[in-house]
A = this chain, B = another copy of it.
């Protein structure tokens, strides 16, 4: 490390962009380092449980790709993604009931995070507004901040976005002179709340946005990770012309390959994909070819069933432990899929402070504030049940419950 003279550091401060001040570390990443301490029970990270993957098989097919097609796999590729993977993505979406996308409308992205960046690049000026759930994905909020976009929450209940609240919010924000560009939504098993948008509301949400000339950015990484109940139609399947759909292989296969995709309305496609090309030229070719071979040669739907059987047990273990140990003052969601449960504590308890105590007590989680565009989630927190086994979940929830009981007692004084 080299310490710059004060004068130079000051000169550099003056070079910073207006947006630089808004680019922050995500709270999820804050606890990333912490979560590597093996003495702690981490209920923090939404890491899929990759030990279930057929590693030998993936190793073999990857080895074959490099040996037989190395000069292609290790070379630059198209900014759109490989032709084969784009075709296969059509089939993956079909498995979620999306049958109105053609291969020309699909672009492969560096995880679905980068599709959010692309959407902001194409649609958002500084000062623009996007609508979202509260709470919502912290990575999306960080992207919005990096683009100096105001993320305005829309009213939700246990069934997700409330159509009348959406209508009212649009009216109110427009009356205040705001420019609303899109609704960002995670309709299935929201991260962090676990809540799913009710099937009977979906058509209405889609119609409101179309009528109002507001795009929908549908983020659906968890859609196929459903442990009970009936899948509702994706928003994209209800309106192919006004919905940009973001999918990901991170949860149904493996996040370390950093491959996602977007399905974009035809008339917006070219602008959208060029925004990605300007950032990273093309997604990594080898990674796309690994996924293609995996989809071709492995029972990938059966693999999702395996994942789901495991995650269902872990969710059940967490719900059971919460019911058994949690103080009565704490309420929580009961997700039908995905990775997360959202806890609400009595007002006045700050879960960010609680995290510091959690580290001492041997359990970590993500404080709620990071997920809240309104900043009104200090008394909430996110638990992930995806990455540790049932016994560890029970142990973690027990430790957390002790902590919460003390905090509630102290808060009541």
Contact = CB atoms under 8 A, between A and B. Distances in A.
Interface of A: 1-5, 8-9, 11-12, 14-20, 23-26, 29, 32-33, 45, 47-48, 50-51, 53, 55-56, 58-60, 62-64, 66-67, 70-79, 100, 102, 104-105, 110-111, 113-114, 117, 120-125, 128, 139, 142-143, 145-146, 181-182, 210, 213-215, 240-242, 250, 254-258, 265-268, 271, 274-275, 277-287
A258 B277 contact: no
A48 B76 CA distance: 9
A286 B256 contact: yes
A258 B271 contact: no
B78 A32 contact: yes
B15 A181 contact: yes
A271 to B, nearest CB: 6
A210 B8 contact: yes
B73 A66 contact: no
B241 A5 contact: yes
A70 B47 contact: no
B277 A25 contact: yes
Contact of A123 (B16, B67, B100, B254): B16
B274 A24 contact: yes
A51 B254 CA distance: 29
Given A29-B277, A280-B110, A17 B121 contact: yes
